[in-house]
Amino acid sequence: MLRLSTMSAAILRATKLPISGPYPTLDPFLFCVYHKDEYPADESGGKMEAAWPGNGSDFNPHAPYRMYHGHHIPGFPQHPHRGFETITATMEGLIDHADSVGNAGRYGEGDVQWMTAGGGVVHGEMFPLVHADKPNHLRLFQIWLNLPSKSKMVQPSFAMFWNSDVPVYHTDDGKASVTVWAGDYFLREGVKQNSPPPDSWAADESNDVAVLHITVQPGGAIVIPKANKSGDGNSINRSIYLIEGHEGNVKVDGKIIGEKVCLTLDATKDVPIELDQGANEEVQFLLLQGKPINEPVAQHGPFVMNTQSEIRDAFMDYQRTQFGGWPWPKDDMVFPQDKGRFALIDGKETRPPSASSTTESCTS
């Protein structure tokens, strides 16, 4: 734990972020990782493969990019989940999704994918080098949101929110912005947040779940308001992560933050963020917030339940059923290079409103 010179009224704890790997999280969140990979342009003649094969477990934080569990195409080939949800919030780059339910998609550049694993799903998340004429840089958050015991065995579900449907708030001077990936915050009049899947902990507004991406330019400022439900006798957990621009003399609740940290905040208080006019670059934060589920957590790899007995059941169920099996021809399933962004949900394919015949063409 870091020790600021003096803690502020709103900052309860400061924890230095790891160079790589998962960030610390509070209930109801289980896991959060920030992917930032400078993938080059595709030089494989349309195969969308990296120049050098991966070793099956490449997480080197000092390399320009990582292959993760991919061999020729970076990413995470098919793997199972049970008992929680994944939120994949993108900023740059493209991801190919496929799962055991038959859903699929290519998304990115600000799109958000929300998947309820529930009773069990197998999915793959690959990062194909789609572009041959420019680098395929990738930035995204993978966030795991827990499910309460009553919802851990629900049917899997899948939602896609295109970037044009993701609310973005800008301060009047244009020097700060908030991208609202989830939560009833920073929404202009008449603008609503995207609806989480029906069985999500976030679907109940009394749980006050929020996932926000905050950007402040030099000379900019913004105030994070206290949690909506903080005065209702609820205990709301709130964490904010400084992920970019930590050398710019940014102040959080009046305290200078000079390194990448996780700040645990008092959700009953407003929190101002200010960046010095002389800073050389913008700062970026991730905010995670929600009412804790307050249930036992038993986790083993990709399964999150309430007891070790339920974890054993998950492994046995997966070995027996493969959670419906893998309907795709490859474990590291990707789609044609010119496919464009799309979502295939329950047999129906949709595309973002901005899709054009040239850049978002559909090739069967």
Buried-state track 309-323, b at ≥16 Cβ within 10 A, e below 16:
ebbeebeebbeeeeb
Question: CA-to-CA distance for 171 and 188, rounded, in angstroms?
Answer: 11
Question: CA-to-CA distance for 51 and 13, rounded, in angstroms?
Answer: 43
What are residue 314's phi and psi, to 5 degrees? Answer: -60, -45
Residue with tokens 């065995």: 153
Residue-level pLDDT at 360: 43
Residue with tokens 């790891």: 18
DSSP string, 176-234: EEEEEEESS-SPPTT--PPPPPTTSGGGSGGG--EEEEEEE-TT-EEEEPPPTTTTTT-
Residue-level pLDDT at 4: 54
Tell me the whole-structure pTM to 2 decimals.
0.94
Residue-level pLDDT at 233: 60
Tell me the two tokens of residue 187: 């929404």
To the nearest 5 percent, what fractions of the chain are helix, strand and coil? 10, 40, 55
**Residue 350 neighbours by CB under 8 Å, 6+ apart:** 160, 342, 343
CB 331 within 8 A of CB 124: yes
Q: For residue 317, which amino acid is it?
A: D
**DSSP conformation class of 58:** B
Please count the CA atoms within 13 angstroms of the CA of 237 that sit on its side-chain side: 14
Q: List alpha helices for the chain, DSSP H.
A: 308-321
Residue-level pLDDT at 127: 98
Closest CA to 149 of 330, 279, 293, 273: 293
Averaged over successive runs of 10 residues, the pLDDT of the chain (364 residues) comes to 63 94 97 98 97 94 97 98 98 98 97 97 98 98 98 95 96 97 93 91 96 97 94 84 88 94 96 95 97 97 97 97 96 97 95 62 35
Cα 57 to chain centroid, rounded: 21
